[in-house]
A and B are shown apart, each in its own frame.
Chain A
Amino acid sequence: EDKVVQSPLSLVVHEGDTVTLNCSYEVTNFRSLLWYKQEKKAPTFLFMLTSSGIEKKSGRLSSILDKKELSSILNITATQTGDSAIYLCAGTSYNTDKLIFGTGTRLQVFP
Chain B
Amino acid sequence: DTEVTQTPKHLVMGMTNKKSLKCEQHMGHRAMYWYKQKAKKPPELMFVYSYEKLSINESVPSRFSPECPNSSLLNLHLHALQPEDSALYLCASSRGTARYNSPLHFGNGTRLTVT
- A residues neighboring B (CB under 8 Å): 31-32, 34, 36, 41-45, 48, 50, 88, 90, 92-99, 101-104
A97 touches B55 (CB 8 A): yes
Among B55, B88, B103, chain A packs the most CB atoms within 10 A around the CB of B103
Quick one: given A32-B101, A41-B88, A42-B107, are A97 and B48 in contact (CB under 8 Å)? yes
Q: Which 7 A-B pairs have the closest CB atoms?
A: A101-B42, A97-B97, A41-B108, A42-B106, A97-B98, A42-B108, A45-B103
Give Cα A30–Cα B37 distance, bound, in whole angstroms.
24
Provide the residues of chain A in CB contact with B103, threshold 8 Å: 34, 45, 48
The total of Cβ contacts below 8 Å across the A-B interface reads 61
Provide the residues of chain B in CB contact with A93, threshold 8 Å: 99
Among A31, A42, A44, chain B packs the most CB atoms within 10 A around the CB of A42
Provide the residues of chain A in CB contact with B90, threshold 8 Å: 42-43
Provide the residues of chain A in CB contact with B105, threshold 8 Å: 45
Nearest Cβ in chain A — how far from B23, in angstroms? Answer: 12
A45 touches B48 (CB 8 A): no
